[in-house]
Amino acid sequence: MKIGVSSYSFSRLTRAGKMTQLDAVKKAAEMGFQVIEFAGLEVPEGDTPLSYAAKLREACAAAGIGMGNYSIPADFLYGSDGDLDAEVERLAGELKVAQALGAPGMRHDATYGYKPGAKTPKGFADALPRLAKGCRAVTERAAELGIRTMVENHGFFCQDSARVEALINRVAHENFGALIDMGNFLCADEDPAQAVARLAPYQFHAHVKDFHYKPGTAADPGRGWFRTRAGNFLRGAIIGHGVVPVGQCLRLMREAGYDGTVSIEFEGIEDPVEGIGIGLENLKKYLSALSWAPQA
């Protein structure tokens, strides 16, 4: 097991011009992370995704930090103007970026769900064959490059553990699995521990995330909060400050045999560097309590 961090954790700083993704690589290494993964590339003027990916790879090597997953959006219902083959080809292009990064895996979405008025399936069961077809086509291409692909419990429509499990089993390819984000199950109003236990046998990668929670019966807490699928309220939290049973979820992952990267994805409103740092301290405590020591 190694401890990682997602570039998304620094995104408030990079989008504000206070840091670049190249700076984030250095900062992550300074903070003691062993791996950094990239949630999309913020390509500067004068670069292409491929040339910038090569620069990020070089920066990681120079900083002594490992390369993790490459994460991108995808939608096999509506992406590429609803052309499934075109969406698969677009993701095949992203696989070349993942290869240039040196990423061992690429995470992509399946879909964000039905759009009112569209002539597409409304229910998950009806959409499943098309989603599986797209995911399998991408993972077959990825396998040729030595890159594993995975779907995350993300995007509300394909977020419940039962739906993610059904998709993985429908794809039925050893190169395709799950990125388990322990916090994201709350977006679909699902118990994180129960969901992790269901998906752990399919796990390729782990995101450690925490959330503050308020029931939908409470007054709207305002800025910084968003609604779950059932109308409850969530706000990103520092690891250990929210309601996600982080230690329990980690224990379930380990008991299922997972020994890959455990990566922090911070979404809180606190200063990102401070929030990530406190979260890392807490994550190390949870791992120590499990006698789960990071590999050198």
Domain boundary assignment for the chain: 2-289
pLDDT of residue 234: 98
CATH code matching the domain that covers 2-289, chosen among 3.30.365.10, 3.30.70.1380, 3.20.20.150, 3.60.150.10? 3.20.20.150
pLDDT at 296: 81
Q: What is the pLDDT of residue 119?
A: 86
Give me the pLDDT at residue 206, please. 98
Which residues of the chain register pLDDT less than 70?
Answer: none
Q: Which pLDDT tens digit goes with each residue over 214-238?
A: 999 999 999 999 999 999 999 999 9
pLDDT in tens, 74-105: 999 999 999 999 999 999 999 999 999 999 99
Distance CA 145, CA 131 (A): 22
Angle (CA) 193 199 201, round 5°: 120
Report pLDDT for 56.
98
Output the pLDDT for position 134.
98
**Residue-level pLDDT at 87:** 98
